[in-house]
Amino acid sequence: MSVKRMPWTLPRGDAICYSGYRRGQSPGQQCYPSVAEIREDLLILARHWKHLRLYDCSPHAERVLEVVRRERLDFKILLGAYIGAEMNNFGCPWGATYSEEQLRASTRENDAEVGRLIDLARRYPEIVWAVAVGNESTVDWTDHFVPVPRMIELVRRVKDALRQPVTFCENYVPWQHKLADLAAELDFLSVHTYPVWEYKHIHEAIHHTKDNYYGIAARYPGKPVVISEAGWTTNSNGRGIEPHNTSEELQESYYGDLMAWTRAEGILTYVFEAFDEPWKGSADPLEPEKHWGLFTVDRKPKRVMQRLYGDLFGVRDAG
């Protein structure tokens, strides 16, 4: 029997994506941040943000929820389920080919992950305001591809079990065409927009982001739309992003434009991301995936955050 779904509206307030993996830690190795490390992170973020986005239902996420409740921190969380590959995607530039046995195992794990999502959302209803069933699993370049009908199946399972609103987080391009049937099942849509990945320079970046957002909002009138990822990396080795188009100054500029627009328009926007994550991407230290944080992996504020956090860390305001 389906759970009765309650009326809701999109919340407001500053929002950020949080994944707390430090040096030597990674989800792939199941080496998670400790409770003490997570508490340190959340006390930093609580100074400025109201909303957090989490990406999976691993022990990392469970520890985050425990700390928020125990410390009585004023966070509302968009809790995600990580949905792994259920089909090979031969269009993935860095390879996404799996054996049939691996795909079957991933499908079983996806079902288990959705079960964990339901369990955590039920256990922490005062903290988890919404849930996301998957992240970037339908876009052409993904390495964890899942067909749309299967995504609909998983979304319906979650909606039948929870009162919280349900979404799916994806790059803006699939929302334009292929996800219409999935969109009809969701309570709101969650869009990713990254001008720097599309070779946009800073003078055109915010216009590109606006076009991405408003294009999807117009495609689905009456369906609420949030930005679940938007940001600017501060380093690149040239893999997909031109090195000259990355710096702390450019990150600060894009962040300022993004916040000015979304606050004025009341668009809930999860900035990507809180802290640099060394485990991501290749072993190259300048791999762009490692450098999206507003703070370094050592929890030091980058230029964009120095006005707000310099007093805590002894960093002189770059402004």
Q: Whole-model pTM?
A: 0.95
Contact assessment for residue 46 and residue 15, using Cβ atoms and an 8 Å cutoff: no
Domain that holds residue 41: 16-313
Token pair, residue 183, equals 């969109």
Structural domains in the chain (count): 1
* Structural domain contains residue 8: no
Structural domain includes residue 123: yes
DSSP letter for each residue of 254-278: HHHHHHHHHHHHT--EEES-SB--T
Asked if 45 and 39 count as a contact pair (C-beta separation under 8 A), the reply is no
Please state, in angstroms and rounded to a whole number, the distance separating the CA atoms of residues 183 and 281.
Answer: 30
Residue 6 in any domain: the answer is no
Q: Is residue 3 part of a domain?
A: no
Which of these, 101, 206, 97, lies nearest to 142 by C-alpha position?
A: 97
Residues ≥6 apart with Cβ < 8 Å to 317: 306, 307, 310
Q: Within 13 A of 67's CA, how many CA atoms are on the CB side?
A: 20
88: domain CATH number is: 3.20.20.80
Q: How many CB atoms are located within 10 Å of the residue 317 CB? A: 12
- On whether residue 132 sits in a domain, the answer given is yes
pLDDT, tens digit, 9 for 90 and up, residues 112-122: 999 999 999 99
Establish if 7 belongs to a structural domain. no
Does residue 10 lie in a domain region?
A: no
CA nearest 160: which of 129, 133, 123? Answer: 133
Q: Tell me the per-residue pLDDT of 147-173, one tens digit each, with 9 for 90 and over.
A: 999 999 999 999 999 999 999 999 999
* Domain-embedded: residue 117: yes
Residuewise pLDDT in 10s, the chain (319 residues)? 567 666 678 999 999 999 999 999 999 999 999 999 999 999 999 999 999 999 999 999 999 999 999 999 999 999 999 999 999 999 899 888 999 999 999 999 999 999 999 999 999 999 999 999 999 999 999 999 999 999 999 999 999 999 999 999 999 999 999 999 999 999 999 999 999 999 999 999 999 999 999 999 999 999 999 999 999 999 999 999 999 999 999 999 999 999 999 999 999 999 999 999 999 999 999 999 999 999 999 999 999 999 999 776 666 555 5
φ/ψ of 170, rounded to 5, equals -155, 155
Nearest CA to 42 among 13, 9, 65? Answer: 65
